[in-house]
A and B are shown apart, each in its own frame.
Chain A
Amino acid sequence: MTLPLIIYRSLRQHALSTAITAGSIALACGLLMTVWMVKTQSQTAFTQTNAGFDAVLGARGSKLQLVLNAIFHLEASAGNLAFADYEAIKRHPAVKAAIPIAVGDNLRGYRLVGTVPELFQTVEYAPGKKYVMVEGGKIFGADAKEAVAGSFAAQRLGLKVGDTFHPFHGLAYDAKNEHADSYTLTGILAPTNTPADRVVWIPLRGLQTMNGHDPKAATDLSAVLVQLRTPAAGFMLDMMYNKQGNRLTLAYPVGAIIAELFSKISWFDQVLALVAYLVALVAAGSVLASIYNSMSARRRDLAILRALGARRRTIFGAVVAEAACIGALGAVAGYAVYFGLLVGVAGVIRTQTGVVLDVTARLPILWICPVAMIALCALGGVVPALKAYRTPVAETLAPLS
């Protein structure tokens, strides 16, 4: 009971510096865990997001842009492809399903995507999961001026089944660019936790023939989402479109293209990790400084303990253990910082991309970071502990004037 009592009393006696130091450790620990989790989880979430498709066919250009545009509903379309190209790939024996999409309009900032009803009838956006309408809704008719809203878009736009709206031209919202066409919302999709939640879906033909669009491009598409019968088919189509052909681009496999993006920005990860490590070092340094600075105030107490029979190693251990305790307090509070930050960052990522991070995931970093932080703090306690170890008892106990 001696050591816990000494540590507890010392922490209490220096409550303010304990709180400040533990707070800085909490911030460091929380930041480290958040950075790591967001990095890992977003990489996992983004590379696993494919909306149920193996490949995307689009105009000649960047595969990444194609995937971001067609799967994540980000970025502008690289260009259009002809309806005949869609029909050709749809007929290909290696292709299980092909869903055309067209983009170019928005509803108050939320992207309008033209597609065919089959997307909601036959496609599994994740293994074993098909799109489901919230009760009372139905899929739009292929030739009707009707729309289906993703759950997040519907919530943010305040849309209800039966509402009518006028789309706006372009991917960015500009109130002056309102189309004359009017659409009626026939359904709202149940949340899928995919980018589809941030989109308002309308019939392909509706988007192609929107009042004000170029009539010459009335049959053009932005991309074709492709499901393959076998993985080998992807390499065959890749050869056909990307290597032998020079008009179109096939982005395959979708996950690998996003992974490539992450590998291109891996230096950014390293910078983040470096910053996080530095923050951890600064936190350990603050423990060192905080205890070291309080040493002159506690020299007398340490000398009294020595005079009572405490051994040097007991005093050394007490100071190191106190530093570790400050680290532990900080680590525990770090979880609160971590959850707060993670929920906030995950919310922003969801709002911006529709990709949902699993905030409850238990990665090893969630125990490695606190344990490492406690160890670092204990290490930071070694310097003041050495000072305590060397406290001259007789000299320090000389009566105070």
Chain B
Amino acid sequence: MLAVTDLKKSFLAPDGERVDIVNVPAFALAAGEQVALRGESGSGKTTFLHLIAGILAADGGKVLLDGTEMTALGEARRDRLRAEKLGYIFQTFNLLQGYTVLENVVLGMSFGPRGADRAHAREMLERVGLGHRLDHFPAQLSTGQQQRVAVARALANRPKLVLADEPTGNLDRKHAGEALALIREVCREHGAALLLVSHDELVLGQFEGHRDFAEINQALKGVPR
């Protein structure tokens, strides 16, 4: 479902030197599989997810997503592929503050091939327990509720792969556990694969076979952290 080969990304440091951030020779994820990657802050895990999502263009290598080579596409096609196949859960949720809960989910769907489906958006919000908060704005919700909106938005478009970047980073332990269980459950229900990155051992402990991002990312080899 996801196959990453020789994926590279570097940035120009303020002193003019090019710094490698991501260098992943190989990484794969099967359909419906749920994998957690452990990564410290600054380890390049967000950049790795951005490269998989096509938000950033890679310097080299391949990202094969559900049979389509993301890295070979131009920006507009990458945007379309992202809307079609990917769901993204951000650490800070990144909800649109001026939009209602329902609109946030509807808008998340509208760029995909199925278009905005209010009934399905409502169903998704009911599934995450927010059926009674459809017309609320994000600022009127608790942090845990905002996280659930982000989950509903990421899954509403029936993605093949959900990328979750420190999804519980802003939640307390109790809510983090609940949110994680919800994300995994909803992904399973929708048959979506899940790639989660976190530095929280509690979160990582929930995954049977979590991996260390430092082992995958060759750019980190020999870099003191």
Contact = CB atoms under 8 A, between A and B. Distances in A.
Given A301-B97, A305-B107, A393-B55, 11 more contacts: A2-B107, A9-B99, A301-B96, A309-B79, A309-B83, A309-B112, A310-B83, A311-B80, A394-B56, A399-B92, A400-B92
A205 to B, nearest CB: 80
A77 B196 CA distance: 95
A12 B98 CA distance: 8
A1 B106 CA distance: 10
The 7 closest A-B pairs by CB, nearest first: A309-B83, A309-B111, A13-B98, A2-B110, A311-B79, A304-B94, A9-B98
Contacts of B98: 9-10, 12-13, 301
Interface in B76-100: 76, 79-80, 82-84, 86, 88, 90-92, 94-99
Max chain B C-beta neighbours (<10 A), residue from A5, A308, A394: A308
A335 B110 CA distance: 36
Interface residues of B, number: 33
B84 A309 contact: yes
Interface residues of A, number: 26
A313 interface: yes
Nearest to B81: A309
Contacts of A310: 79, 83, 111
B126 interface: no
Max chain A C-beta neighbours (<10 A), residue from B86, B88, B98, B108: B98
Given A9-B103, A399-B91, A400-B92, A308 B55 contact: no
Interface string A5-44: 1100110110000000000000000000000000000000
Max chain B C-beta neighbours (<10 A), residue from A13, A307, A314, A397: A307
26 contacts: A1-B106, A2-B107, A2-B116, A5-B99, A5-B107, A6-B107, A301-B97, A305-B107, A306-B79, A307-B90, A308-B111, A309-B86, A309-B111, A309-B112, A310-B79, A310-B111, A311-B111, A312-B75, A312-B79, A313-B76, A314-B111, A394-B50, A397-B55, A397-B90, A397-B94, A400-B92
B152 interface: no
B82 A311 contact: no
B78 to A, nearest CB: 9
Interface in B120-160: 153
A305 B79 CA distance: 10
Contacts of B55: 306-307, 393-394, 397
A253 B50 CA distance: 81
Interface of A is mostly: helix
B53 interface: yes
Contact of B107 (A12, A308, A394): A308
Contacts of A307: 53, 55, 82, 88, 90, 94
B47 interface: yes
A87 to B, nearest CB: 84
Nearest to B103: A5
Contacts of A393: 55-56
A400 to B, nearest CB: 6
A314 B107 CA distance: 13
A312 B76 contact: yes
A144 B222 CA distance: 120
Contacts of B94: 300, 304, 307, 397
Nearest to A11: B98
Contacts of A305: 96, 107, 111
Contacts of A13: 98
Contacts of A394: 47, 50, 55-56
A5 B95 CA distance: 15
B72 to A, nearest CB: 18
B104 to A, nearest CB: 9
